[in-house]
Amino acid sequence: MAHVGEIQVDEDDGENNMAAWLLGIKTLKIQPYHLPPLGPHDVKVGIKALGICGSDVHHFKTMRCANFIVKKPMVIGHECAGIIEEVGSEVKSLAVGDRVALEPGISCQRCNLCRDGRYNLCPEMKFFGSPPTNGSLANKVVHPANLCFKLPENVSLEEGAMCEPLSVGVHACRRAEVGPETNVLIMGAGPIGLVTLLAARAFGSPRIVIVDVDDCRLSIAKNLGADEIVQVSTNIQDMGEEVAKIQNAMASKIDVSFDCVGFNKTMSTALNATGTGGKVCLIGLAQSEMTIPLTMAAVREVDVIGIFRYRNTWPLCIEFLRTGKIDVKPLITHRFGFSQKGIEDAFQTSAAGGNAIKVMFNL
């Protein structure tokens, strides 16, 4: 692990740009962050709102998230929005003072996946706060203009930052082809389960059942518009009766299930509960390997769909927010300022779970 003092700061950097650096397990420190020069197609953005994601908490607690390992000091964070402070010479679409939501991943735009439009799967993706790429919990960042999306007047910067988690739900609903005739089951009422609920409703789903172990999260889901909630245990032995309970709660065929957790039990429950010919979409990645009843699902032609992040979702998310078709504001439960104490308290609050859904920084 590189020592703190080894972070390079250019003495000529006139602006004192500060950022939250992850230096070790549960060790965050606000320190100078020297930005790359502004390219012709880039903008400099003053970050004003940033939400903490589950992946940020994994990095904070363990210095890794799945196969992404933090090997040197890294600026954390990626769910963000801010105000344009400077534009590159070739940028025509944005102007200084514009309020924007930032899509955090920069793809290569040259590989076959990028050229095919599936740029979220690009092997060369540089994604804010995913090692080794620095994130955006900073006063300012430099980012490609085409990944900065202008916010309408009636959409706040906090709501702009919420476009990132909301994008996961939107991409999942697109992949699973959710529409006005799709009855949806959601496993997990954490932040991603809840944005998937909001997205599925916006896509027209007439009936949504959400399942969790935590009654507090389930009551939030009910307030956000879930038609039915089902509390389950963590014990795999209870699965048979829980599947029956879930199917009774839906009271008709379950067309699409979203597993927003990713455990053996949640995926097995989703596969068993989903109606014949339906779909199960795996969003949560709690376990890298699972033991699941795939054969019985396969002979019922239940399709299993994977998703990774999102693609081309920001314009639709912003439109859902502008029209009021989706309201993300109730998801923001805690707010902190950008100070040493603020970042420490915010990450402890988010890591503790409890009644925290989305923890937001106001910079």
How confident is the model over 12-53, as pLDDT tens digits?
344 689 999 999 999 999 999 999 999 999 999 999 999 999
Q: What is the pLDDT of residues 153-209, one digit of tens each?
A: 999 999 999 999 999 999 999 999 999 999 999 999 999 999 999 999 999 999 999
Q: Are residues 281 and 204 in the same domain?
A: yes
Same domain, 230 and 275: yes
- Whether 185 and 100 share a structural domain: no
Query: Is residue 190 assigned to a domain?
Result: yes
Q: How many domains are contained in the chain?
A: 2
Residues 141, 190 within the same domain: no
Q: Which amino acid type is present at position 154?
A: N
pLDDT at 15: 63
The C-alpha atoms of residue 32 and residue 25 are separated, in whole angstroms, by 20
Which residues are registered as beta bridge partners of 126?
Answer: 106
Clarify whether residues 87 and 195 are in a common domain.
no
Indicate if 132 and 223 belong to the same structural domain.
no
Question: Does residue 313 lie in a domain region?
Answer: no
Distance, CA of 58 to CA of 44 (rounded, Å):
28
Q: How far apart are CA 349 and CA 142, in angstroms?
A: 29
Q: What is the CATH number of the domain that holds 207?
A: 3.40.50.720
Residue 4 lies in a domain: no
40 and 129 belong to one structural domain: yes
Cα–Cα dist 361/342, whole Å: 8
- In angstroms, the Cα distances linking 58 to 121, 162, 199 are 21, 19, 25
Within 13 Å and on the Cβ side, how many CA atoms surround 357? 24
Sign of the torsion formed by the C-alpha atoms of 333, 358, 184 and 246: negative
Residues 63 and 71: their CA atoms lie apart, in Å, by: 8
CA dist., res. 336 & res. 81, Å (int): 15
State the residue range of the domain holding 64: 18-150+328-362
Give the separation between CA 318 and CA 162, rounded to whole angstroms: 10
Say whether both 292 and 206 belong to one domain: yes
Buried b (16+ CB within 10 A) or exposed e, 126-142: ebbbbbebbbbbbbbbb
Q: Tokens for 109? A: 């735009």
pLDDT digits (tens, 9 = 90+) for 98-132: 999 999 999 999 999 999 999 999 999 999 999 99
pLDDT attached to residue 2: 38
Q: Specify whether the CB–CB gap between 110 and 194 falls below 8 A.
A: no
3 state SS of 25: coil
> Residue 79's domain is classified under what CATH number?
3.90.180.10
Q: Is the pLDDT of residue 10 over 80?
A: no
Structure tokens at 9: 């700061």
**How high is the mean pLDDT of the chain?**
95
Q: Which is more confidently placed, 288 or 295?
A: 295
On whether both 134 and 175 belong to a single domain, the answer is no
For the stretch 197-246, pLDDT in tens is: 999 999 999 999 999 999 999 999 999 999 999 999 999 999 999 999 99
